[in-house]
Amino acid sequence: MKIGVVGCSGRMGRMLLKEILDTPGAQLAGGTERPGSPALGVDLGVLAGGTALGVGATTDTRALFEASDAVIDFTSPEATVAHARLAEETRTPLVVGTTGMTPPDVAALRALANRVPVVFAPNMSVGVTLLMALTERVASILGPDYDIEIVEMHHRHKVDAPSGTALGLGEAAAAGRGIELSDMGVRVRDGHTGPREPGTIGFATLRGGDVVGDHSVIFAAEGERLELTHKASSRAVFAKGAVRAALWTRDAGPGLWSMRDVLGLKDS
């Protein structure tokens, strides 16, 4: 299966190139970068940390979509929306791991999903996908006397907060409770806040160093506390999940899918 990578010279882009080259059944269709990028023309094999393949990074995103059986996108919300339009025009399945997507951005992916498979997840890690499934299940079992708090930490360069993964965990907890995160989420506490509102889902954001991604969901009640935690030590886990998702689209119909669909956990 031929898989293309947009934004191929960034940290994630390079890992995606390497993972595609290392995965049986996957073939690298090409990679693109924004105009003016110093990576333009650089051999994709070299960008992946290996030997030259004779194919360099280009700016011709349309040609990449036309040549690919699926495209992986870990770029920016604005670029991802533009790529969604290309995916619709070329009928190319799209795997999106871009963070910081707004509701209108997600709506653009949902519109594309009426025509082609789209896998969209705030975190492509298999472990985090399991954590989200567990969070929903635990939230459905534990009563409202268990307060839910989500704590996340990332490297100092991350620009969005809370992380997309933390918000995904909040959505999972809210689904388990049968509530809307938009109604019950608390992202900021400062000053004299008063006592904790019952039923809310709180978020705490930490930034520093080179932390790839730590996420914990805490269920706290009188007398006990249950914590579910995932820690990523390498971004390679995201690349592995994304390539797995791209291969999965080969047999998927149109729809806005998640990594839980890819792993067969939707009904668990």
User: Are 6 and 116 found together in one domain?
Assistant: yes
Report if residue 267 sits inside a domain.
no
Helix axes 126-141, 236-248, angle to 10 degrees: 80
Mean per-residue pLDDT, 221-236: 95
225 is in an annotated binding site: no
Report if residue 268 sits inside a domain.
no
Task: Give the whole-angstrom CA distance, residue 109 versus residue 119.
Answer: 9
15 torsion bin: left (phi>0), alpha (psi -120 to 50), beta (else) = alpha
Q: Share the mean pLDDT of the chain.
A: 95
162 is in an annotated binding site: no
259 is in an annotated binding site: no
User: Are 45 and 89 found together in one domain?
Assistant: yes
Does residue 267 surpass a pLDDT of 70? no
Q: What is the pLDDT of residue 235?
A: 87
193 is in an annotated binding site: no
User: Are 7 and 109 found together in one domain?
Assistant: yes
Q: Domain range for residue 220? A: 126-232
**What DSSP state is assigned to residue 104?**
H
Report if residue 142 sits inside a domain.
yes
Task: Give the whole-angstrom CA distance, residue 31 versus residue 59.
Answer: 9
Report if residue 54 sits inside a domain.
yes
Report if residue 209 sits inside a domain.
yes
CA-CA-CA-CA torsion sign (157, 161, 164, 168): positive
User: Are 197 and 89 found together in one domain?
Assistant: no
Q: SS3 for 20?
A: helix
User: Are 108 and 24 found together in one domain?
Assistant: yes
Q: What is the CATH number of the domain that holds 143?
A: 3.30.360.10
Reported confidence tier of residue 158, pLDDT bands at 50, 70, 90: very high
User: Are 44 and 75 found together in one domain?
Assistant: yes
Q: What is the CATH number of the domain that holds 45?
A: 3.40.50.720
Does residue 268 surpass a pLDDT of 70? no
User: Are 250 and 226 found together in one domain?
Assistant: no
Tokens (6 digits) for 229: 């935690």
Report if residue 80 sits inside a domain.
yes
Does residue 164 surpass a pLDDT of 80? yes
User: Are 10 and 42 found together in one domain?
Assistant: yes
Report if residue 100 sits inside a domain.
yes
Q: Which residues are catalytic?
A: 154, 158
Q: What is the pLDDT of residue 69?
A: 98
Report if residue 205 sits inside a domain.
yes
User: Are 6 and 115 found together in one domain?
Assistant: yes
157 is in an annotated binding site: no
User: Are 222 and 242 found together in one domain?
Assistant: no
As for how many domains the chain has, the answer is: 2
User: Are 112 and 169 found together in one domain?
Assistant: no
Quick one: three-class SS letters along 154-189? ECCCCCCCCCHHHHHHHHHHHHHHCCCHHHHEECCC
Q: What is the pLDDT of residue 166?
A: 95
User: Are 228 and 239 found together in one domain?
Assistant: no
11 is in an annotated binding site: yes
| pTM of this structure | 0.83
